[in-house]
Amino acid sequence: MDKILVHGGRKLRGSIRVSGSKNSALPILAAALLTRDTCVIRGVPDLSDIHYMLTILSHLGCEVERASGVVSIRADKIRTEASYDLVRKMRASVCVLGPLLGREREACVALPGGCVIGDRPIDLHLLGFEALGAAVRVTGGNVKVFATRLRGGSVNMCGTHGTTVLGTDNVMMAAVLAEGVTEIHGAAEEPEVVDLANFLKAMGARIHGAGTSHLMIEGVKELHGADYTVIPDRIEAGTMLVAGAIAGEKLTVRRLRPDHLESVITPLRTAGFQIETETDAVTISPGEKSSPLHLETTPYPGFPTDMQAQMCALLVRTPGESVITDHVFPQRFMHVAELSRMGAQIRLEAPTAFITGNGRLSGAPVMASDLRASAALLLAGLAAEGVTEINRVYHIDRGYERIDEKFNFLGAHIERVKA
């Protein structure tokens, strides 16, 4: 098992390109199950989560080829069962349920695993399937869905902590081959949902309202193959911008969508950093003075929960009293204890972290608990005095493509060693 050693104190400068979106690529890869034709998906990042998804698709009978960020999938004859051994490492594996149900009218998938960041039930996914006329059974740790016919229906995908992205994806993928019209109210508005909808439309689906809270899907009899490029990863882009804020002199992040990052760019500007935007790039530079922030995570277009941990790492170095409240995943603060080991002053009253910025961090051995927490620890290590040793870095490899190499290219000193 690898660990990462971050030698703090190096300034970051230059420019870096963002990889394709993990959270777009995973459901788009699953959507290839909806047709017997070949689908070619470009810009797929080289991540462990992507590897897991391709392994699941191969088990389900797909012919999969992968080279240099391009994945070719042909799902001519497929199976409809995925065991726990296959799906236990990644929650997004649940998104094969929708396309299997849509195409084969049945699916049996083990309840998935993934990061431990609080309760993330799939009740709304199942509610959506039932609205399409499917029967649902949860037994022995497996989810079974089946239907003689799938018919358009109406469902609300908004739960206790807001809407569900994967739930919206799953129901949308099942509905594209259902009879009649399906309406999804309270749909997730994230760019990754829009990306999936655009891929499905490239396959021949009829989807209206992507990017709004009201989706309307007109079912079609069949879909065909498509050649499609996924959008840039807005969370990787946001993480790089925060790195520029923490340890940068002047850092340009390229191959991104600035309109997808307004909820990150705005608070960075408020905190005093200089931001310049171009069509597909954002440059961040230090300002004259840094200011504390009060942030609340909400579904898109609000401040993303996937950037909460990284912003914590920034604010522990920002003089003054900052506050971050996570309304989406109230228990997602496992990084707080590890940042405290490095000298951070954070008082946690979930779902809120009260941060007293003191400008100083010291390298220490820390443990990554989930994907975004591991990114926060790496960012903190960039600015800390001494060496930060990050264990369980398999978490960061789930969602950041060669992040250590990218930071080293910008001037950091990061080593990956065997634990």
Active centre residues (catalytic) = 115
Q: Within its chain, how far is the Cα of 410 from the centroid?
A: 24
d(CA 101, CA 125): 12
Query: Which element (helix H / strand E) includes 357?
Result: strand 352-357
Q: What residue has token string 């779902």?
A: 351
Overall residue count recorded for the chain in this entry = 419
d(CA 210, CA 197): 7
Q: Going by DSSP bridges, is the β-strand pair 154-156/181-185 parallel, antiparallel, or unpaired?
A: parallel
SS3 label, residue 302: coil
d(CA 188, CA 170): 11
Q: Are 378 and 390 in contact (CB under 8 A)?
A: yes
188 token code pair:
């997730």
CA distances in angstroms from 189 to 214, 304, 353, listed in the order given: 9, 12, 26
- Residue 150's nearest CA partner among 185, 183, 175 is 175
297 token code pair:
């995570």
Residues 6+ apart with CB under 8 A from 323: 293, 294, 295, 352, 353, 354, 355
Instruction: Mark 194-206 as b/e (b = at least 16 C-beta within 10 Å).
Output: bbbbbbbbebbbe
CA distances in angstroms from 76 to 39, 57, 364, listed in the order given: 11, 12, 51
d(CA 35, CA 341): 51
Instruction: Mark 307-337 as b/e (b = at least 16 C-beta within 10 Å).
Output: bbbbbbbbbbbbeeebebbbbbbbebbbbbe
